């Protein structure tokens, strides 16, 4: 072989090798995603921490950072600001933000339903004598001003003919304490948060009256994965990969909540493992693996129900403009129906 032919052969081989190497790098390139939780690291945050811990996001070429939050409203505004790509927030809070900020350039949208039912409840102690929603007339209720149950209480009161209650505002850390001390007659809050917090203050669950909104005519959706329009437009493949990996993680969490709490403990070493395991199980049973979720399918919504919620939230929250369903929900990034079939039979 002549030197000229040899050199040409070497050059072609090097060029081919560089193409293969470049293709390999492109294929392995990871996409960074910043994710904002609705609350601090508690039992339900295992839904997002498990797929991180088990490497499901990494296998999908995603570098997902999960940060604790301080409320759904904060999660919505941080995604809207572009600080976070994705988040976890109450759908009503997202609807309110979009309706009150019609000219916002980056309005978040829900892309996967996780809490098929709102976790909101009215809770009181049996010794108060309050047994039904009608008994709340003339009573003093307490909750932080941003609490989802308090914000949606007009929907609950309309469905149950409640016309006269007085509200007391407080910091979230004082809500259950004020109920136990008798400073308020009842509180609103997420069932899996407030019920366990009441128990932690010395009142057994058997002495607590829990009126869950879905049981009393309020069929609002709860928390959903929300996304910035920017990432939906610029990297739809990454969004689809995130939801697929997340769904895989949720299946694991439902199958073994006690094991899932280890991922939460790794992020916050001071959590009470037993308490947070109970909180996670309660969340799964009441709002994730619910009868409504089985009817609609994990991650999905029922259009007429969503439209009704939009109308109810517009009225209850007195939004500046009517809520648009199209600007609130986009289910086109969801995994296939087969991949979403993760809910076990209700016991």
In a domain, 252, yes or no: yes
Same domain, 170 and 235: no
Q: What is the mean pLDDT of residues 202-224?
A: 96
Query: 3-state DSSP call for residue 296?
Result: helix
Same domain, 298 and 232: yes
Structure tokens given for 312: 């109810």
Task: Please count the structural domains in the chain.
Answer: 2
**Whole-angstrom distance between the N-terminal and C-terminal Cα of the chain?**
77
> Does the structure show a pLDDT above 80 at 176?
yes
CATH of the domain at 140: 3.40.190.10
Same domain, 336 and 226: yes
Cα 114 from Cα 196, distance rounded (Å): 21
Same domain, 64 and 88: yes
Same domain, 286 and 321: yes
- Of 216, 233, 267, the domain-final residue: 216
> Does the structure show a pLDDT above 90 at 206?
yes
Same domain, 227 and 336: yes
Q: What is the mean pLDDT of residues 149-167?
A: 95
Same domain, 295 and 234: yes
Structure confidence by residue, pLDDT tens digits, 128-157: 999 999 999 999 999 999 899 999 999 999
**Cα 212 versus chain centre, distance:** 18
pLDDT band at residue 226 under the 50/70/90 scheme: very high
Q: What is the mean pLDDT of residues 253-282?
A: 97
Structure confidence by residue, pLDDT tens digits, 58-106: 999 999 999 999 989 999 999 999 999 999 999 999 999 999 999 999 9
Q: Do 72 and 109 meet the contact criterion of CB atoms below 8 Å apart? A: no
- Of 216, 241, 257, the domain-final residue: 216
In a domain, 125, yes or no: yes
Distances, alpha carbon 223 to alpha carbons 166, 205, 263, 273, 336, in Å: 27, 25, 21, 23, 21
| Mean pLDDT over each residue of the chain, to the nearest integer | 92
Q: What is the mean pLDDT of residues 275-283?
A: 96
Same domain, 249 and 206: no
Same domain, 260 and 169: no
Distances, alpha carbon 185 to alpha carbons 179, 190, 191, 229, 273, in Å: 6, 17, 17, 43, 30
In a domain, 18, yes or no: no
In a domain, 268, yes or no: yes
Report the 3 state secondary structure along 266-291. Answer: HHCCCCCHHHHHHHHHHHHHHHHCCH
pLDDT of residue 4: 54
> Does the structure show a pLDDT above 50 at 308?
yes
pLDDT of residue 288: 98
Q: Which pTM was predicted?
A: 0.89
Q: Which domain holds residue 262?
A: 30-117+222-340
pLDDT of residue 67: 98
Candidates 144, 308, 145, 299; CA nearest to 223 is 299
Structure confidence by residue, pLDDT tens digits, 8-59: 554 454 554 454 444 444 455 999 999 999 999 999 999 999 999 999 999 9
In a domain, 17, yes or no: no
Same domain, 246 and 308: yes
In a domain, 281, yes or no: yes
In a domain, 10, yes or no: no
Say which range, 12-16, 176-180, 242-246, 340-344, has the weakest mean pLDDT.
Answer: 12-16
pLDDT of residue 346: 83
In a domain, 346, yes or no: no
User: Based on the number of CB atoms within 10 Å of its own CB, is 165 exposed (0-12), middle (13-18) or buried (19 or more)?
Assistant: middle
């Amino acid at each position: 072989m002549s030197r000229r032919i040899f050199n040409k052969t070497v050059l072609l081989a090097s060029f081919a090798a560089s193409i293969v190497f470049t293709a390999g790098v492109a294929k392995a390139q990871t996409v960074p995603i910043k994710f904002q939780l609705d609350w601090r690291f508690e039992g339900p945050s295992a839904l997002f921490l498990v797929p991180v811990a088990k490497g499901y996001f990494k296998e999908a070429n995603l570098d997902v950072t999960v940060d604790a939050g301080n409320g759904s409203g904060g999660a919505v505004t941080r995604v809207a600001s572009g600080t976070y790509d994705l988040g976890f927030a109450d759908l009503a809070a997202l609807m309110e933000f979009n309706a009150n900020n019609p000219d916002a350039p980056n309005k978040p949208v829900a892309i996967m339903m996780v809490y098929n039912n709102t976790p909101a409840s009215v809770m009181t102690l049996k010794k108060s004598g309050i047994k039904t929603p009608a008994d709340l007339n003339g009573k003093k209720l307490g909750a932080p001003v941003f609490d989802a149950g308090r914000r949606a209480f007009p929907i609950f009161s309309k469905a149950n003919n409640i016309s006269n209650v007085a509200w007391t505002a407080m910091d979230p850390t004082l809500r259950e304490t004020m109920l136990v001390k008798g400073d308020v007659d009842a509180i609103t809050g997420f069932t899996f948060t407030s019920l366990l917090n009441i128990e932690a203050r010395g009142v057994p669950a058997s002495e607590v009256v829990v009126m869950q909104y879905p049981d009393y005519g309020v069929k609002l959706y709860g928390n959903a994965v929300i996304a910035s329009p920017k990432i939906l437009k610029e990297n739809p493949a990454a969004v689809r990969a995130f939801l697929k990996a997340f769904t895989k993680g949720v299946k694991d969490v439902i199958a073994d909540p006690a094991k899932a709490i280890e991922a939460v403990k790794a992020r916050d070493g001071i959590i009470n493992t037993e308490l947070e395991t109970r909180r996670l199980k309660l969340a799964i049973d009441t709002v994730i693996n619910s009868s409504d979720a089985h009817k609609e399918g994990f991650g999905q919504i029922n259009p007429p129900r969503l439209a009704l919620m939009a109308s109810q939230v517009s009225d209850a929250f007195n939004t500046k403009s009517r809520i648009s369903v199209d600007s609130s929900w986009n289910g086109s990034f969801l995994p296939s129906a087969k991949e979403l079939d993760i809910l076990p039979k209700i016991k």
